[in-house]
Structures are given as C-alpha cells and as structure tokens.
Amino acid sequence: MFELIQAGERTYYIDNPNIMGIYKLNDQEVCLIDSGNGDKAAEEIQNILTQQGWKLKFIINTHTHIDHLGGNRYLMEKWECPAYATNIDNAFANYETLEAAYMYGGYPCNDLNRVFNHPGPIGFLDIEDFDLPEGLEYIRLPGHSFGMIGIKTSDEVWFLADSVLNSKCLEKYQFGYLVDVEGYMNTLKLLQTLEGKLFLPAHGDVVSDIRPLAQGNLENIRKNIDGLLEDCRGGKNFDLILKGVYDRYKMKANVVQNALVGSTLRCYLTYLQDSGRLECYFEDNIMKWKTV
C-alpha cells in the first residue's frame, strides 16, 4: 500500500491504514508527520524518501500513541534526526511502560507492555521549544491524548491525527479511546471552524470539508453519554457499567481491550460526575455510580 500522494505544492501524504504526512522544507529536505506502527512502516517510508531523493530533517509526532511513532527509532537512527511532540505526550514516549500503566491504573502486565511498549528517550524534543519552519503550524487537539496536535501546511492541508473517526470507524468503534471527554468535544467543535483545502484524519478518509465528520463524531460522543446515563439510573459498580459498554457495542473483552475501554469509561464517568450528571457513592464497600 504505502503510496505517496501529492496534496499540495509542498505537501504529500502516504496512503496507509495510518496516514502519514511529508512536507518539503526545501528542494532536498523534508519533515515527516507521524511514522506509523513499526519498523515495516519505517522501511516503506525510507524507500519513499530514497526514491524521491529526499533527506529527512525531523519528525513531528502528532501524539505519542504507538501507532503514530512506531517507526521513529528506525528513522531517527537512519537520519540522525530528532522528533518533536508536545511536552506532556513526550512523557509517554520517553518512558516505555507509562502509557500502559496509565490505561491499566497500576503497573501493567506483560500483555499490555508488549502492545504499548514505547521507544524510550531516543531523541524526543518538546515542540513547544521548537520554532517550526515557515510553512508549518500546529494547533492543540486534546481529548484522544493529553497533548495531541494537528499540523497545517502552507498548502492549507491539515493533518488531524486521531481527532475524528471516519463514518466506517464510527460504526465499528463507537466507544473510541479518550483521555478527556470535555477536551475531545471542544476539539470536535474547533475542527468545524477550521479553514483549509484538504483535511486528513490519521485513520479516515481524506476530505475537503471536515465539518460533517466532526459533527458526526460529536453526536456519537453524546450518544455514548446518553447510553451511560441510562445504564446508571439504578446505580451500578464499574464492572457492570463496563460490561454494559461491551454488550451495547458488541465488543469482546480481552486484556488489551479492557485497558483501553476501561480507561475511556473512567474518563466518561469523570466528565459526567464533574458536570453534575452522575454521583458516586459506596455501598457495602463497593463504589457505585448513579445518574442524578
């Protein structure tokens, strides 16, 4: 797959299950926006760079989930170049087990460490301390990670990371991973104000108008909220609420899924408690959640 597609005078993207961007800084040097899921993706990116006669100057990681920086080590060592992400997301990149521990809520088991293992301190730098070259700018897109960003190029092309799911993914992954529900809803509202010629979600279709997709994602979040409020009317403990999420969206539990969905559910419960729509209480030393 890994097809190089030109999106503007200086902007390209690689068509892959994870969309990755390339921006020409000059005739020879380019920057990469995200690096895919591992060495295989990195090797394909390297082949494209070689075929085009480009030199990789630096990498921008929109966020530091493993499917967006999995190729970093290979490419950073090959080109002796740095990678930039937000300072809070770099905490996860620089410490191998931190993301798995966050999702699990304690020291993670081996099953989680194998899936979410991060590269460690191999040259990640804070984008807040970096003056982006002319033609590039970033905006913060919180919600899916603590410090996710989107990148806009001089060709008015937006790389929007995991800020939206396409319509197909919305049908399959309606309870998508989040760390901040309110932040994510604000991001979806922000997306509807952006101006540009092309919008590229990392796991979605390339579109010229992001507003319908952003609105669809916002409606999905509201539907998730309504489902949780209905489920908690009589008061339930966390495990029963989690089972309800699995059943409602026809998901099958496993260790990794339990960490992802369980962590996301806690963020929904936090949001609903903070907004006064849920209350938590203890009954027989069991913590329960009840719709107000």
Residue 112 parent element (H or E) = helix 110-116
> HEC string of 239-292?
HHHHHHHHHHCCCCCCHHHHHHHHHHHHHHHHHHHHCCCEEEEEECCEEEEEEC
How deeply is 229 buried, as exposed, middle or buried, from its count of CB atoms within 10 A (0-12, 13-18, 19+)? Answer: middle
pLDDT of residue 49: 97
Q: For each successive 10 residues of the chain (292 residues), what is the average pLDDT?
A: 93 91 97 94 96 98 95 96 97 92 94 89 96 97 97 98 87 89 98 98 91 95 97 96 95 94 98 97 97 97
Domains of the chain: 3-162 (3.60.15.10), 229-291 (1.10.10)
Distances (CA, A) of 178 to 12, 39, 155, 202: 28, 26, 30, 15
Residue of 11, 85, 25, 27 whose CA lies nearest to 57? 25
pTM of the shown model = 0.95
